[in-house]
Structures are given as C-alpha cells and as structure tokens.
Structure 1
Amino acid sequence: MRSIIIRRLLQTCCLLFICLPAFSQTTTFTVFADKPGADIQPTMYGIFFEDINMGADGGIYAELVKNRSFEFNQPLMGWKVEGKPVEGDILVLHSTDYNKSNPNFLRVHVGNRRKGELGLTNEGFKGMGVRKNITCHFSARYRTANAGITLHAELVTPDGKLIASAATAMSPGNGNWQTTNMELLPAEETPAARLTIWLEGNGTLDLDMISLFPANTWKNRPKGLRADMVQLLADMKPGFLRFPGGCIVEGKDLANRFQWKKTVGLIENRELIINRWNTEFSHRLTPDYFQSFGLGFFEYFQLAEDIGAAPLPILNCGMACQFNTAELVPMEELQPYIQDAIDLVEFANGPANSRWGKVRADMGHPEPFHLTMIGVGNENWGPQYIERAREFARQLKAAHPEIKLVFSSGTDPDGARFNFLNDTLRKMNADFIDEHYYRSPEWFLANASRYDNYPRTGSKVFAGEYAAHEPSSFVGASRNTARAAIAEAAFLTGLERNADVVEMASYAPLFANAEQWQWAPDLIWVNHLQVVGTPSYQVQKMYALNKGTQTLSLLSENIAVAGQDSIYASAVYDAHTREIIVKVVNAGAKPVTRNITVNTKRKLAGKVAVTTLSGNEPDAVNTFSQQPVMPVNSVVDINNKRISIELRPNSFSILKFGTR
C-alpha cells in the first residue's frame, strides 16, 4: 500500500510540473515600472531630409516641369523644340538687368504660325505623373509688345495621346512682364505625361518660369509639396526635421554650398545651382539634377511646423566637402558664414519688423517658427573644423544663448578621427555631437550596447544618420530588407535605454525616386504617382509613435537585454497614455518564447496590445505593388502581471500594458 501511495504522489507531482504555465520554464524579462528613469525628449525620433535621389525637385517639391527657367548649364535641357522652326525662332537670352539671380529667359519669334507649327515640349523629371480629373495649374511669366499671340498648353501621353488642353491670348501689357495662368484637367492617369506648348499668331514673345503643379498639393498650397509624400512624414509624428541635408550643405566646393538666404523670397528670384549629387556617382550620373530652391528654407520651416516637428537647420561652417575639394574659407573671412547663422535665428524667430523677420512675414508667416537648435557643418573633421566650430560657438552663444548647437563627429562612428572630435567637442561642452553610422546589419546588432557606458552628463548624442547597409549585391530598393530594419530596431533599443545620452535619432537618407536614385538604402521610395514606406520606415514609425516619456529598467537575470540569444529589449512609460511600453526584437532565425513580468503596484489591464513587424524572409522588401513587411496587431492575455509571448524570427514587437 505504501508503495502505491508513493507512486501516485510522484505521478501527481509530474502532472503538476507539466501543467505549470510556460513562463515557469522560459527566460523572464522583468520591467521595473515603478522606478522611471531618464526623461525621453519629444525630439527623440525625427527626420533627416536631403535633396538626394531627386528628393526635392522631381520629388517632394511638386513642380512637374524640369528646367522651368532655362537656367541649367544647357539652357534647353529637358525641352524639345517642336514643329517647323527656322533659325532664330527660339533663342535663350541672358540678361542680368532682367534678373540677377536667374538671368535666362526664352525669346520666341512666332511669325504668322498656326498651332502645330512652333512649340516646345518639356519631358518633366523622366515624365510627369498626372491623375485623372485632378487639375494641373499651368503658369508662365511672359512679355510681348504684340497682340494676337495665343499660347496653347497640352498634356500628352508617351504615345502622343492628348489628355488635357487649354489656351489663352497673350496680352501686350505695355511690354511689361506678366503672369498667365491656365488649368489643365487630365482625362486619364499616367506616370509619364509630357507638357507641350504651341504658339500661334504673329509677333515676339518672351517666356520664363514655365510651370505646372497638381492642385492636390499638401494642404492645397499653390506651388506646394506632394501631399502623399508629406503624409508619410506626418504619419510618423517626428520629433524634429533636419534640413537641408548633409553633404549638400557643404557642396563640392564653397561656390556650390547651400546658402539659405538665396532660397527665400520670391520663387523667381531664388538662384538655381547644380545639385552636388549631379555627377557624384559615376555609375548613376544625373546630369539634369539641379536645385531650383522652390523648396527653400521658408518651406522647410513650414513643413516642420505642419508635421509638428522641431526645425533643425544645418549650415555651412566655411568648409566644402572634404572628400571632394576640401576647400576652406580662411578664418579671417569666416564672419559672413557666422552672420548667416545669426541672421537665420532672426529669420526664424525675430519680430515681423526686424530685417529678416520681415522676409518671413512677407512670405506669409508673421509668427515665429520657434527655432531652438542649429547644426554647424556636416561630416566635417580635423583641427580645421574644430577651429571654425569654436568661433561659431563663441559668437552664436553670445548672440543667442537659447539656441543649442549640433557639431559633427565626422564620417565614422569610431577610429582616430572620431575619437579626436568626440573628445575635443566634449571638452568644449558642445550641446550635441552628431554621430553617423552606415554599417552592416551585423554592426548594428553588435553595437546595441554602444551607449551603456557613455558619460551621463555633458554633451548629448544626436544619432543624425543611421542605416543598416546590406552588401553591394543588393541594389537599389532591394537593400531595404526586413533583416536590415530588424537590426536597426535592435540598435534603437540601446538608444532608447540610454535616452539620457541620446536625445535625437534619424534614419538617412529619407527619399529616393525609383527612376533616378543615386544612393540606397533609403527610408521611403517614390515614383511619380506612388510612395511606399520601407521596413526601416515602419521601424522608425513604430518607435516614434511609442517613444514614451520616461525610460524603464528591463532586465533578465539582472542585466540589460542586448543580444542574449539574439534578443534585444527596452521599456518606457508613457505618462500621457498611462501605458508601459515594451519593445522586443528577435534578430534570430527561429521563434523564441519569452515571459515578461511587470513589477508594479499599479493594476494592469487584462490584455496587452501587441504590434509586430516581421518578414516571411529576411530579404523581404516593400514595393509599390506589395508590402509584406507591415505591422500586425494582436492581443495577449495577462496573468498576474505576467505574459508569455512567442517572438517570431526576424521580428520587432511592441507590447502595451495599460495601467489603471
């Protein structure tokens, strides 16, 4: 009898062991929710914009006409003369008396022509994307001394089919420059329309700023931005907008640098320059890549305001790109560069009756843009950079102590160049040090603990340009894999865990035109009619929408979760929503189960909302026709402040614990 009792007791114990919840046999993460740590800045996750990959002209700036003012090095690039012209019918005139910034204009001798005998066609940026029944606004500056000239504007498909047309008579107007406006209503959608202008009648007509914009721009602003591209940015709820970019700020030489004062005011007075990415990549030359500056500093500030982001302009510090010419302005000639920075603060924040505040007000924004930070140089390095950075800091801090300054740590996140800049800038008490990382997915996984041992006081880190780069065998949009995005998500757990060190982060570059890109990977890919967020876009969006307000300690066996069994994790508390938010990455190739316990005196909701991003294959990418790497929502039951969750391979999950 005794042996039978013992045997039954053993069977019962075994059964009890088998029936215990799964988390009793699985690694447990503990979130210490009653001991919040560092504050997370509202600026934590933002946007880096640069006019690369046709990101501005041919991209977010919705102008459909290329070389609208005939200022390209080849004045008729993008244009084709149509009909039966004779010598001298169409001339490009250059007159600084007409316009010092954009001196070229077109002179057409019409000469008793009928429609179809003399005209011009503009190809757009490898086509013009137009939508059925969405009005396109045509405009042009013109001058004529003769009555009797009619201008016909037409949209045609690649095979020559007419899909929209309008006409207007040119008024003499005493020979002064005027503007004509017409509306074209496409009868069908096409990504590759062309604009043709036919001239009919007799006389001489001068033309400039020939322009075509869709009516459905962002906020329906005339001559504005592509609404679908801006919407993807707004959906991220970014904390900041860094502009106008990186290397484009420096220019190949100082003459080619970005000068913000030339990008504000009337559009026709903004001086066009060649884009420094025009011939940078020999395997993807873009000789027709210029900057019209229709998207200028006013529009950047306005965009930042529209999407609720803090503006972060980057200014040239007297140094051209050190990979190109390495031109330097002498220290005794640096003052105009510093004055540009001081004047920019006045443009953004000054009263409407100040010199530069009036320029802003005259452009339609009398209220300030609330600028709080400025970047000094981009990816500059060496003692020559430090020399100029010191002088910028001295004068800017004296003039505007309220403005925080961002300084460069060079091109790489390690090495002698980085160490020199990092050490020197910290001794200078720099507000922010801008670190850049274009590295393999493996580097991002290995560096998830990069900031665990950084100084907790002093200069803060701006992770200004990050992107996981697949090998060169991955080309174009194929480089934006799920694997790369998951590696970035793992790295960001380390940034979030160290929010007292890192206060800003942004992926780079932002946009790429699928037809005319130079650099990949990129956050968002576009064509003339579509936009698509990459897996990396989804990762940063998930972080930005769930950044929280304070960090929370998340430990496994009393250590941070940063790569054990290919798992990475962090946690935050959101005081606005009263949620405990846990982010977990499984960068491995197999599913893994983990338990998560919330150590808190608060009551928790009975279910946990889970959002998971994963790809069926590590190489999966999002395309215009298919987006397999998208967030999927689910719920998990909570039991005694504990859950068990299976983490899919190559996945990033966000778990929200509601508190009561």
Structure 2
Amino acid sequence: MKNKNKWYAAKKTLPGMVACLAAALCSLSANVTYAQQQTAGQPVNGIPAKAISPNLFGIFFEDISYAADGGLYAELIQNRSFEYTPADRRNWHSLTAWEYLTKGYGYGSLSVETKAPVHPNNPHYVVLNVDDAGQEGVGLVNDGFDGIVIRAGEQYDFSVFTRLLSAQPIPVTVQLRSKKGEIYAETTFTAAAKSWKKYSLALTPGKSDDSARLAIVAKTKGILAIDMVSLFPHKTFHGRTNGLRPDLAQAVADLQPKFMRFPGGCLVHGDGLDNMYRWKNTIGPVEERKEQRNIWSYHQSTGLGYFEYFQFCEDIGAKPLPVVPAAVSCQNSGGTWAIGGTGQKALPLADMSGYIQEILDLVEYANGSATSKWGAKRAAAGHPAPFHLEYLAIGNEDKQTPEFRERFKMIYDAVKKKYPNITLIGTSGPGFEGEDFEEGWAFANKYGWQMMDEHYYENPEWFLAHTHRYDQYNRNGSKVYIGEYASKGNTLFNAMSEALYMTGLERNGDVVSMASYAPLLARTAHTSWNPNLIYFTGNSVSLTPNYYVQQLFSRNNGDVYYDNVVSFSPADSHTAGASCVKDTKTGDVIIKLVNAGDTPVTATASLPPLGTRSGMAVITVLSGESKTSTQAVIKTTDFKPGETLSYTLPPYSLSVIRAKTKD
C-alpha cells in the first residue's frame, strides 16, 4: 500500500487492541475468563490472541449467468409476462420462448397489446383470437429455460391472468407435455371475467421429463387476453410462495454463510441511470413489479426481489447486506468497457433528496415496525417482524469521480444521521490497486468511512504471493469487506490458492470484517462470467473445489485468532499456510492447514496451551487427484493429535482440524 493511505505493520502481540476491544468483556459470563483474555486480545498461555470478525465468510449473489431467472428463482416459465425486448438481447421480443399453437385444423391470430394491462409496470400482454378452435384448440406453448424440468408425481402450481374480450366464456386447457405432444398432466378452467382475473391450478405429471413444455389452449371461438403465465414447483425452498429452487438454495445454505450481499454487482448501478436497480420496483405482488433489462444482456423479471432476498437470508441464517447504487451508473455504461469506462452518469443533484429518501425507506422496510409506512408493506408480504438489517453498501466498483464522491457522501451522511447503528460500506473500485483504488481509500481516510469494499479477480499465483496483503493495513482505519474475489479457474490449484489466501484473511480478521467469493451461481449454457462457485442446469447442481473451500472456512469460522501456532517443514514453503482460530460459542479450537504445492509438507503445533482435550478432535481433508482436477474429495474422520500435532499435508489439500476444549 502507498504511504498516503497510512498503512503500517501490525505487531504480532497487538497491544493496541486491548483498549479498543475491552468493551467486549462485559458481554461474557464470569465462567469464561479464558475467553475474556482472548477476546480482549491478550496472550493466552504465551500465545498471542486477538478478536476477529465472527462474520468473516459469506456469499455474494448477483443475477449474472441466469443466476435468478432460470436459476435460483423457481419460476419455470421464461418471459412469463411478455416483457422481453430487443433492448434485452438483439433478437428478443415479446414472444421470445413462446410458440403459437395451431394444431388439429384450428386457426386464429396472436398479437401483443398494451392497452389496459394488468398493471402499468407490466405493460405487455398477449391477445389470443380464436377463429376456429378445430379439433385440439388454439393457444400458446412455452419452453421454459432450456426446457421445463418436471418429475412424475410432483405437484406444479400454475397461474395466469386473463381478460375475456369476446362475449362468451372460453374454456381453457393447461397441459404439461413433451416436445412431441405427449400429455403428462392436464387441467382446465373457464375464462369468463371481463376484467383481469387470476386463475390458479395444480398439475401433477405422470412422467418425468427434463425438456417438457407448458401449453395453454383455448377450446372455443373467442378472444382472450393472457398475461403473467406462471409455473412453480410446489416444493420450493422452505415451502415459500414465489420461492426458490430447492436444490440450488440448499447448496447455498450448505455453505452456512454468515452474510449475503445482494442484488449485485454491476447489476446494481446498471447500464445508464434508467437501468439502476431500484429496490421499490421489486417488492409487492409480482404482477405489479417493474421488470427491466439485465446489464448482462438478458432480462430481470424481479420475481426474485428485495422481499425474497431478505427472506432467503433469514432462512439460511445469513445477515442481509444489500447494495444500493451511489446515484451514479456504471462507468462502463453504453458499451464503454474497451475505451476506459467513460459512461458514468450521475443523478441530478435536484433529484438526490428523493433518491436518499428511497434508501432511507429501504432501511425502514427492513427494520421498521409493522405499523410504519414501509414496515407495513413488509408485513403485508407476510413478514411482520423486522429483518434486522445491520449492513448497507453504497455503490459498486464506481469510478472515483467528483460526481460520485459528492453523491456518496450525501447518501452516507443522511443514512448515518437517521440510522447510526447501520454499518455503511463504501467502494474502492474494480481492482486491488490503481487510480480508483488509491483515490477510493484516500476518500475513506479523509472522512473515516466505516468499511470499504475491495474487488479483485486474479491468477492463482497472485493469491499465493499476496497472502500477507492485509498484514500492513491500518488497524485504526476503515475496515475491509472483500465483496468480490476469485482466482481465475475452478481447478484444485485455484481452490487451494484461495484457501491459502483465506488463512491470511483470518489472520487479519481484525481488519477484514467480511469476504465473499464471486460470482456464486451460473447456468452452464448461459455463463456471462467464469469462474463461478456453483454451476447448474435445469436438473443438476455442480459444486466446484472452490465451493468446498468456502464451505470449510465458513463452517469453521472463529471469533478469536491465535498467532504463531503452526510451523512448517520445510520452513521456506511459500505454498503452505495455516490459521488457528477459536469459536468461543462452542469452545472449539480450529486449525486450518493448506498445501497449495506439489510436494507434501509437515505441520507442527503444540496443542496443550490452547486448552484442547486429548482425543476429542475431528479432521476434514479436502483433496483431489491432481493440480488440474476440477473435482474434489472430502473426508472427515476422528483425529487424535496428541500433545504435539505433527501432520503431513498432501499436495494440493486443505485440512481442517476441529478440537474440543469442553466436554
């Protein structure tokens, strides 16, 4: 780091930590004097100890690579409200993913209309004009996202809004069918209402199919308006209405993240001011939400909106960390990626009062009482209790222009004034160094921002060379949130380079408060970015070696760090590293040992000073066949280290030893 950022080397004993952490003593019981010493940063039996963030490892979700629509969001119908446009993707239109169905000698016409829609935020709908229903009817078929995955015997919940435009009611048949027309499930309703009405039905297929289709067929002559065609698996994650795909959501939950950052990413500040992510557009009944173009060249239905994000965080025990635009658009707006990012646009200052109120309203939506204006909207959605928002990030990788800094400070000051207990997070640009990084940190140092968000995607060798990156950060300055990071690949070597780097994050957990790998999810046929933590198709979930590294660190998080516990032989190995933490809630001592090299190394540690109980430990080893393997093997066994730990780490492996200090 440059001197102007006032970084200095932290001494191993960290005597200055005593005063600033003394307040932690009052929250501990009289029976944990040993833990009191640790939390206060005092040496324990001669071993230097310091308090570290208990929320260190979390996740970052962005709707990139079909992570939301066609991914985590369980909706099976693509373009359900006919809102796709060429602005999303050049060859897209209102009937993308739909097919006009005229078989059995039926005929008619199909048009897209905008007069008197279900809601102004959802302006397009289809008008089906049936001149002759023929033998099989006339209608629409949807292919979903690369086909609709259905399972025999499972229930699927169908709904649609219709408006009758002709005189007589129209019988409508809804079918799950194969590409060749074989019918797996069928149900009917009669569209009779002259104003928009929602119909909800259940379908239970008799066969499984990974590429099924949904058909909506009118059986008599007439004219019918159709909108918001939806098909959900009845079994969503935690049984939530408008919920999440169970297997993907469970894979995320199994990480046991301490927090979740959402909804992006570059998605947040968007491609131009009119494409910024505005949270109020994403709450309420789904037919009233405002859809928009996705910066990653597809579409956002906003069915997965702020309520669902907060609810998912609660369901998986992760603290919510929403990110709001800093009133500027992405500097790469308008296709300026290749010419230096000159497309940043700023909201006019005359609009800032209203925009700041929008952000204040978000905090009230999350934390306000059920009788407050925005808390009442949360309660109306089915959650009267607050979501307990503690963190809010302002901006994402923004170019450090005067316009950005002026608006950021206006937002920061206003939120801090009304909600002083909310931790606010700034941004230091898109890289680990450079002009924006330096100016961002200088801005933080000038005003004393609470936390700064750093992002970087680098080669695995970079991570091996920078394991001590945060050793010299200012202990009295802004805390760090590493909102996006990953080595460029999903091999075992990539994962181990990240694991070695993460031992450095634990060692500096007094400065680095949070860290989240990115991106989280990618549909394999629609990847906008690589690498990712989890890959999926319509019927499968693939977990990477990087995933298992994140999982082992997050599941074995601590709140006290012990220094100088482990030594290695050979001592000069730059591909080996360790961290030793304690979870004071359980009393467990956790030692993580990483070998990112191609030869075995031996780790040695003296355990009695840590208070571990002989024979009461387990070891989990993550390894693989080779450096380039994209598959990982995890084994957990009982472990009896003895008073002196002497353990040989296999090449390209992560070993986690969890030892008890209590019965």
- How far residue 296 of structure 1 moved from its aligned partner, in angstroms, is 0.5
Q: Counterpart of 2:436?
A: 417
Q: 1:563 to 1:248 in 2, by over 3 A?
A: farther
Q: Counterpart of 1:75?
A: 94
Kept in 2, the 8 Å contact 1:317–1:338? The answer is no
- How far residue 537 of structure 1 moved from its aligned partner, in angstroms, is 0.9
Alignment of 1:421-570 (within 5 A): 421-469=440-488, 479-555=489-565, 564-570=573-579
Q: 1:116 to 1:430 in 2, by over 3 A?
A: same
- How far residue 117 of structure 1 moved from its aligned partner, in angstroms, is 4.0
- How far residue 190 of structure 1 moved from its aligned partner, in angstroms, is 2.1
SS of alignment partner, residue 129 of structure 1: strand
Q: Alignment partner for residue 140 of structure 1, among 143, 157, 160?
A: 160
Q: Counterpart of 1:615?
A: 624
Q: 1:152 to 1:107 in 2, by over 3 A?
A: same
Q: Does 2:225 match 1:213? A: no
Q: What amino acid sits opposite 2:290 in the alignment?
A: E
Post-superposition CA distance 1:445-481 (Å, at most 9, x none): 1111111111112210001101000xxxxxxxxx311
Q: Counterpart of 1:9?
A: none
Q: Counterpart of 2:641?
A: 638
Q: Does 2:110 match 1:90? A: yes
Q: Does 2:43 match 1:40? A: no
Alignment of 1:394-405 (within 5 A): 394-405=413-424
Equivalent-residue separation in structure 1 for 2:250 and 2:186 (angstroms): 30
Q: What amino acid sits opposite 2:189 in the alignment?
A: T
Q: Does 2:265 match 1:246? A: yes
- How far residue 148 of structure 1 moved from its aligned partner, in angstroms, is 4.4
Q: What amino acid sits opposite 2:125 in the alignment?
A: F
Q: Counterpart of 1:204?
A: 223
Equivalent-residue separation in structure 2 for 1:66 and 1:603 (angstroms): 55
Equivalent-residue separation in structure 2 for 1:480 and 1:369 (angstroms): 34
Kept in 1, the 8 Å contact 2:106–2:135? The answer is no
SS of alignment partner, residue 111 of structure 1: strand
SS of alignment partner, residue 515 of structure 1: helix
Alignment of 1:50-129 (within 5 A): 50-73=62-85, 74-83=93-102, 89-95=109-115, 98-129=118-149
How many residues were matched structurally? 601
- How far residue 317 of structure 1 moved from its aligned partner, in angstroms, is 1.1
Kept in 2, the 8 Å contact 1:412–1:437? The answer is yes
- How far residue 362 of structure 1 moved from its aligned partner, in angstroms, is 1.0
Kept in 1, the 8 Å contact 2:108–2:132? The answer is no
Kept in 2, the 8 Å contact 1:45–1:239? The answer is yes
Q: Counterpart of 1:577?
A: 586
- How far residue 357 of structure 1 moved from its aligned partner, in angstroms, is 1.2
- How far residue 304 of structure 1 moved from its aligned partner, in angstroms, is 0.7
Q: Counterpart of 1:274?
A: 293
Kept in 1, the 8 Å contact 2:152–2:208? The answer is yes
Equivalent-residue separation in structure 2 for 1:233 and 1:306 (angstroms): 11
Q: Counterpart of 1:474?
A: none
Q: 1:493 to 1:200 in 2, by over 3 A?
A: same
Equivalent-residue separation in structure 2 for 1:567 and 1:428 (angstroms): 38
Post-superposition CA distance 1:526-584 (Å, at most 9, x none): 11112122111111110111112211113567x99997342111100122222211111
Kept in 2, the 8 Å contact 1:449–1:562? The answer is no
Post-superposition CA distance 1:75-106 (Å, at most 9, x none): 11111101169996222111256521111111
Equivalent-residue separation in structure 2 for 1:601 and 1:93 (angstroms): 71
The higher radius of gyration belongs to 1
Post-superposition CA distance 1:341-399 (Å, at most 9, x none): 11101111112222111111111111111111111110002133222221112111111
Q: What amino acid sits opposite 1:226 in the alignment?
A: R
Equivalent-residue separation in structure 2 for 1:113 and 1:603 (angstroms): 77
- How far residue 51 of structure 1 moved from its aligned partner, in angstroms, is 0.2
Q: What amino acid sits opposite 1:190 in the alignment?
A: D
- How far residue 60 of structure 1 moved from its aligned partner, in angstroms, is 0.6
Q: Counterpart of 1:19?
A: none
Q: Counterpart of 2:353?
A: 335
Equivalent-residue separation in structure 1 for 2:590 and 2:101 (angstroms): 62
SS of alignment partner, residue 568 of structure 1: strand
Q: Does 2:653 match 1:651? A: yes
Quick one: higher RCO (CA 8 Å, sep 6+), 1 or 2?
A: 1
Q: Counterpart of 1:368?
A: 386
Kept in 1, the 8 Å contact 2:74–2:233? The answer is yes
Kept in 2, the 8 Å contact 1:581–1:656? The answer is yes
Q: What amino acid sits opposite 1:544 in the alignment?
A: S
Equivalent-residue separation in structure 2 for 1:131 and 1:462 (angstroms): 42
Post-superposition CA distance 1:266-317 (Å, at most 9, x none): 1101011111101xxxxxxxxxx21111100111111111111111110011
Kept in 1, the 8 Å contact 2:570–2:601? The answer is no
Kept in 2, the 8 Å contact 1:139–1:179? The answer is yes
Q: Does 2:621 match 1:602? A: no
Q: Counterpart of 1:153?
A: 174
Post-superposition CA distance 1:592-639 (Å, at most 9, x none): 2222222517352225321111111111114xxxxxx03211344333
Post-superposition CA distance 1:377-424 (Å, at most 9, x none): 100021332222211121111111111111000000112321121122
Equivalent-residue separation in structure 2 for 1:249 and 1:561 (angstroms): 47
Kept in 2, the 8 Å contact 1:241–1:311? The answer is yes
SS of alignment partner, residue 49 of structure 2: coil
Q: Counterpart of 2:427?
A: 408
Equivalent-residue separation in structure 1 for 2:49 and 2:354 (angstroms): 43
Kept in 2, the 8 Å contact 1:636–1:643? The answer is no
Post-superposition CA distance 1:103-161 (Å, at most 9, x none): 11111222341452412111111211111211111111112254442211122223443
Kept in 2, the 8 Å contact 1:561–1:569? The answer is no
Q: 1:378 to 1:634 in 2, by over 3 A?
A: same
Q: Counterpart of 1:313?
A: 322
Q: 1:226 to 1:600 in 2, by over 3 A?
A: same
Kept in 2, the 8 Å contact 1:561–1:567? The answer is no
Q: 1:196 to 1:585 in 2, by over 3 A?
A: same
SS of alignment partner, residue 532 of structure 1: strand
SS of alignment partner, residue 219 of structure 2: strand
SS of alignment partner, residue 352 of structure 1: coil
Q: 1:98 to 1:583 in 2, by over 3 A?
A: closer
Q: What amino acid sits opposite 2:594 in the alignment?
A: V
- How far residue 499 of structure 1 moved from its aligned partner, in angstroms, is 0.7
Kept in 2, the 8 Å contact 1:445–1:563? The answer is no
Alignment of 1:266-305 (within 5 A): 266-278=285-297, 289-305=298-314
Kept in 1, the 8 Å contact 2:106–2:132? The answer is no
SS of alignment partner, residue 302 of structure 1: helix
Q: What amino acid sits opposite 1:619 in the alignment?
A: T
SS of alignment partner, residue 579 of structure 2: strand
Q: Alignment partner for residue 602 of structure 2, among 585, 593, 615?
A: 593
Equivalent-residue separation in structure 2 for 1:122 and 1:383 (angstroms): 46
Kept in 2, the 8 Å contact 1:511–1:526? The answer is yes
Kept in 2, the 8 Å contact 1:114–1:199? The answer is no
SS of alignment partner, residue 206 of structure 1: strand
Q: What amino acid sits opposite 2:70 in the alignment?
A: G
Equivalent-residue separation in structure 1 for 2:461 and 2:236 (angstroms): 40
Equivalent-residue separation in structure 1 for 2:515 and 2:578 (angstroms): 18
